[in-house]
Amino acid sequence: MLGVEVRVDNGPWTAAELADQLGVETWRQWRWRWPAAPGRHRLQVRAADGTGAFQAGADHEAFPDGATGYHSVAVTVG
């Protein structure tokens, strides 16, 4: 199961929609619709591989086995 999940402010993970896969070695677009509440929020994203295993949340440098950790961004909704 390939997948992408998103969460807001350390809340529950919710599934994003994946675009069609063009090939086994291509990036895949995704989208996630969010009924945003006004204020400052932290969004985090994680991906699952073909076995359904999600990436590790703990940050780790790329050397020697590749970087880990969730992508995170702070947003302000007006």
* pLDDT digits 0-9 by tens, 9-27: 999 999 999 999 888 788 8
Beta strands in the chain (DSSP E): 3-8, 14-15, 17-18, 30-31, 39-48, 71-77
- Phi (first) and psi of residue 72, to 5 degrees: -140, 145
Domain that includes residue 55, residue range:
3-77
Decide: 41 and 77 in contact? Cβ < 8 Å. yes
1 DSSP 8-state letter: -
Structurally, how many domains does the chain consist of?
A: 1
Stretches where the chain sits below pLDDT 50 are: none
Q: In CATH, what number is assigned to the domain containing residue 50?
A: 2.60.40.650
Confidence (pLDDT) at 1: 60
Instruction: Supply the pTM of this predicted model.
Output: 0.82
